[in-house]
């Protein structure tokens, strides 16, 4: 039973446009949500997080939105750059000691 | 920049061999984790540790074992490798505070191929 789902395995956007990556979850007990970015042959790196008591968190070009009633979060990247091309993993934290990951979305930003 | 290191990065080995994947971190983190990931799939937690002499199995059943004799070191061992163990293994660590967001620092991974 997959508790964190990323239903889009891939996304392609034009440089300068907005990238929107989506994530759905099933467990209402999750207290933090995180996005990780992974380049080939490297480990994931932390990108941005949001507490379950907030609905938005912004860091430069990256904004994460949380809709608790829909159990949905999204990552917006504006403007998208070719260097943003990577696999993005959504993750949810349970009691701050364990992360449950989605299957990832591969983002390609075309020049 | 995270200071967590995994060796080997790549390993091709025959069935039945014993292997140990090394993971070391220099950040003094109490919590350490091993995740397993197949291409296009989610990361699955297979082992974690809250500190020295503490190890627990994760959500995904694994035939591997781990040990935590020193804070900085969290090796993973497969006594007899099989082709089904072919995967990428990712080690991670995090701070031990209850208030933390759960942010993990990952190593670069060990890609294991068992022939």
Residue B25 in contact with residue B105, Cβ under 8 Å?
A: yes
Judged against a pLDDT cut of 50, whether residue A8 lies above it is answered with yes
What is the number of structural domains in chain A? 1
Residue A90 is part of a domain; what is its CATH number?
Answer: 2.60.40.10
Q: From CA B94, how far away is CA B72, in angstroms rounded?
A: 12
Chain segment A31-84, per-residue pLDDT in tens: 889 999 999 888 999 999 999 999 999 999 999 999 999 999 999 999 999 999
Judged against a pLDDT cut of 80, whether residue B99 lies above it is answered with no
Residue B98 is part of a domain; what is its CATH number?
Answer: 2.60.40.10
Judged against a pLDDT cut of 60, whether residue A100 lies above it is answered with yes
B contacts of A44 (beta carbons < 8 Å): 43, 90, 104, 106
B contacts of A2 (beta carbons < 8 Å): 42
The β-bridge partners of A67 are A72
When pLDDT is cut at 50, 70 and 90, the band that residue A93 belongs to is: confident
The residue assigned the tokens 């941005």 is A48
Helix (H, G, I), strand (E, B) or coil at A107: strand
DSSP string, A33-102: EEEEEE-TTS--EEEEEEETT-SEEEETTEEEEEETTTTEEEEEESS--GGG-EEEEEEEEETTTEEEE-
Averaged confidence pLDDT in chain A: 93
Q: From CA A15, how far away is CA A20, in angstroms rounded?
A: 13
DSSP string, chain B: ---EEEE-SEEEE-TT--EEEEEEESS--SEEEEEEE-TTS--EEEEEEEETTEEEE-SS--S-EE--SBTTB--EEESS--GGG-EEEEEEEE---TTS----EE---EEEEE-
Q: What pLDDT is stored for residue B103 in this prediction?
A: 79
Q: What pLDDT is stored for residue A88 in this prediction?
A: 97
Q: Which of B6, B101, B105 sits opposite A93 (nearest CB)?
A: B101
Q: Using the beta-carbon criterion (under 8 Å), do B42 and A43 form an inter-chain contact?
A: no
Judged against a pLDDT cut of 90, whether residue B115 lies above it is answered with yes
Chain segment B34-50, per-residue pLDDT in tens: 999 988 888 999 999 98
Q: What pLDDT is stored for residue A48 in this prediction?
A: 94
Chain segment B1-29, per-residue pLDDT in tens: 559 999 999 999 999 999 999 999 999 99
Helix (H, G, I), strand (E, B) or coil at A111: coil
What is the number of structural domains in chain B? 1
Judged against a pLDDT cut of 90, whether residue A97 lies above it is answered with no
Residue B94 in contact with residue B100, Cβ under 8 Å?
A: yes
Q: Using the beta-carbon criterion (under 8 Å), do A101 and B101 form an inter-chain contact?
A: no
- Sheet with B19-25: strands ordered across: B4-7, B19-25, B76-78, B65-66
Q: What pLDDT is stored for residue B98 in this prediction?
A: 47
Q: From CA A55, how far away is CA A65, in angstroms rounded?
A: 6
CA distance B29 to chain A (A): 12
For residue B70, with 0-12 CB atoms within 10 Å meaning exposed, 13-18 middle and 19 or more buried, which class applies?
A: exposed
Q: What pLDDT is stored for residue B60 in this prediction?
A: 83
- The residue range of the domain holding B66 is 4-114
Chain segment B60-72, per-residue pLDDT in tens: 888 899 999 999 9
Q: What pLDDT is stored for residue B53 in this prediction?
A: 94
Higher-confidence position of A4 and B60 = A4
Q: From CA B73, how far away is CA A44, in angstroms rounded?
A: 20
């Amino acid at each position: 039973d997959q508790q964190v789902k990323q239903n889009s395995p891939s996304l392609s956007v034009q440089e300068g446009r907005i990238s929107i990556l989506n994530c759905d979850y099933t467990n209402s007990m999750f207290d933090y949500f995180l996005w990780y970015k992974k380049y080939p042959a490297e480990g994931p790196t932390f990108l941005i997080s949001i507490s379950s008591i907030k609905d938005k968190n912004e860091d430069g070009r990256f904004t994460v939105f949380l809709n608790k009633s829909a159990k949905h979060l999204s990552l917006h990247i504006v403007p998208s750059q070719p260097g943003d091309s990577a696999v993005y993993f959504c993750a949810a934290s349970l009691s701050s000691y364990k992360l449950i990951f989605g299957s990832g979305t591969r983002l390609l930003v075309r020049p | 920049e995270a200071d967590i290191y995994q060796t080997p990065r790549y390993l091709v080995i025959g069935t039945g061999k014993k292997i140990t994947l090394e993971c070391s971190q220099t950040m003094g983190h109490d919590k350490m984790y091993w995740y397993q990931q197949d291409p296009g799939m989610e990361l699955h937690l297979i082992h974690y540790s809250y500190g020295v002499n503490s190890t627990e199995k994760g959500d995904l059943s694994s035939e591997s074992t781990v040990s935590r004799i020193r804070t900085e070191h969290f090796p993973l061992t497969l006594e007899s490798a099989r082709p089904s163990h072919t995967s990428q293994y990712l080690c991670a660590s995090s701070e031990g505070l209850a208030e933390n967001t759960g942010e993990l620092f990952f190593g670069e991974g060990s890609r294991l191929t068992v022939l």
